Amino acid sequence: MKKLELSPHFTEEAIEIEAGKRKKYWSLEKVSEERWIELSKEIASGKWTLFGLWGSPQKVNMVLLDESQSKLQVIELETPLGKFPSVAIEVPSAARLERTIHDLFGLIPEGSFDNRPWLDHGKWQLRFPLGNILPPDEQKPYPFFLSEGENLHQIPVGPVHAGIIEPGHFRFTMGGEIVVRMEERLGYTHKGIEKLFFEASIERGAEIAARISGDATVAYSYAYALAVEEAMGITPSPRAVWLRALMAEMERMANHFGDIGAICNDAAFPRILSRCAVLREKILRFSKDFFGHRLMMGSIVPGGLKVDLSKEGKENLYRLLEEINEELCSIKYFYDSKNSLQDRTVGTGVLNARSAKLFGAGGFIGRASGRNFDARKCFAYPPYDKLSFESPLLEAGDVNARVWIRILEIEQSSFLIEQILNNLPSGSTLSVIKESKVCGQGLAVVESFRGDILLWIEIEKGKISRCHPRDPSWFQWPLLEKVIVGAVVADFPLCNKSFNCSYSGHDL
């Protein structure tokens, strides 16, 4: 196994001076409707990748990613008439985001081909909770896409699923044993998070952000802290900058172990599940012992960290890493040498590179299908600019590739943690905030275990006036519908597990 060294330009002083100073990688552009339409066309032509789309009471925002330049363009369009030109006519990944904008704000995407509600199931006793609130409409059944034909039958699944997982509904149309169409219906876990952010204090915002998606709690708190710091002009302490990345990598490892185990278990190979579950539990116990919470929930706050890593913790973590590296070798060997397992995972649930690119699928889903995007590389937010690591990339796009990306990422995370431990700056983990702005806008992108999280925040008079977290799942869920077509229904759990999209992060 190759051992990674720190990048050559790394020196001790470099940490002291540069840590925490995040380069601004986005710019805001206010546009007219014509330019908005033009930009939608440019996304469709492949010049940009759609990276986010959200509403506010009087405007809509869209974020465009230019991968070659590592730049984000935040587009803003005023909506005095309560409508905006639909982006989804050009860009399919915008469809659900637009339906959400309508459900929450009442803004109408003009020209859109799909006007069905998305998060609003008609149960809130009101409409447009974040816009001009209206009394509820009469409740109508949700119109699923029609799929009719001789010998077709349907299997409705959920919202209460058979395993210990989150709620959502899947409607399968079957031709015999083969899936002809699968349609998702989500929104069951909608908790009104965006409204809770409204007028919340910065501290309360941090509490909410940590609970957007429990498995990515570190990544969300991380993104929230970065965005708030940018908006308010706060510099986090150097030690915190490094420890945040350490926590994020630990979360990534813990979740990847959980996923690898669960996928193998769904392929009827529970042995790997138990081994992965043991490692996951060890990481969680370490977090409890040294960061005070098994999932490290709420540890990262604007300005730094609420916790610190003790000397003893550092030593224990070295030992844990050693154990993980050793175990990982045998898990790899196991995974690779069992034909019955490979038989289920190789060639199952293939996502082609074109779709991954079109939807801008992030994380292991994109990287297993040849989309080389990793927010840690692309935006190189500190301390990742000082760390050397690789972002594994595969082309096959099947369940097997997604398992392998996870395995390789665990390896990289382990290297990363080692580098961080070796170079951890000293000092306190919470910077003293001498002065800060009370108004501002901030944007942060953080690579969670699942992919890129985008978090946008607007602060007015020290309170949050708008906060929009965009989970990577938004661009991954629609692809799950695609990969299952033509497969047998028994492959669905495997595909679903290998995608492992968040329900809570998506439904908000």
* Site of interaction with other proteins (CB under 8 A): 119, 121, 123-126, 129, 159-160, 162-167, 187-193, 195-196, 207-208, 211-215, 217, 258, 274, 277-278, 280-281, 284, 288, 294-295, 297, 330, 333, 502-504, 507
Identity of the residue, 208 or 501, whose beta carbon is nearer to ligand SF4 in the bound complex: 208
Q: How far is the CB of 445 from other proteins (least distance, A)?
A: 21
What token pair was written down for 98? 């637009």
Residue 157 forms beta bridges with which residues? 170
CA dihedral 1, 393, 446, 284 (to 10 degrees): -50
Burial class of residue 333 (count of CB atoms within 10 Å of its CB; 0-12, 13-18, 19+): exposed
191 binds, among ligand SF4, other proteins, none (CB under 5 to 8 A by kind): other proteins
Asked if 211 interacts with ligand SF4 (CB under 6 A), we say yes
How many residues does this entry show for the chain? 508
CB-wise, 209 or 307, nearer to ligand SF4?
209
Contact criterion met (CB below 8 Å) for 97 and 107: no
- Residue 139 near residue 157, CB atoms below 8 Å: no
Compute the least distance from the CB of residue 320 to other proteins, in Å: 14
* Binding of ligand SF4 by 214 (CB under 6 A): yes
Q: Tokens 């799950």 belong to which residue?
A: 480
CB of 103 to other proteins, least distance (A): 11
Which of 119, 245 has the CB closer to other proteins? 119
Tell me how crowded residue 412 is: count the other CB atoms within 10 A of its CB: 21
Distances (CA, A) of 492 to 171, 398, 482, 497, 503: 12, 13, 11, 8, 17
Quote the CA–CA distance of 246 and 256 in Å, as a whole number: 15
The amino acid at 104? L
99 binds, among other proteins, ligand SF4, none (CB under 5 to 8 A by kind): none
Question: CB of 65 within 8 A of CB of 48?
Answer: yes
Closer to ligand SF4 by Cβ: residue 211 or 314: 211
Helices (H), strands (E): how many in the chain? 17, 14
Q: How far is the CB of 253 from ligand SF4 (least distance, A)?
A: 20
Instruction: Say whether residue 175 binds ligand SF4 (CB under 6 A).
Output: no
Closest approach of ligand SF4 to the CB of residue 211, in Å: 4
CB of 297 to ligand SF4, least distance (A): 7
The reply to whether 167 sits near ligand SF4 by the rule CB under 6 A is no
- Which residues form the interface with ligand SF4 (CB under 6 A)? 211, 214
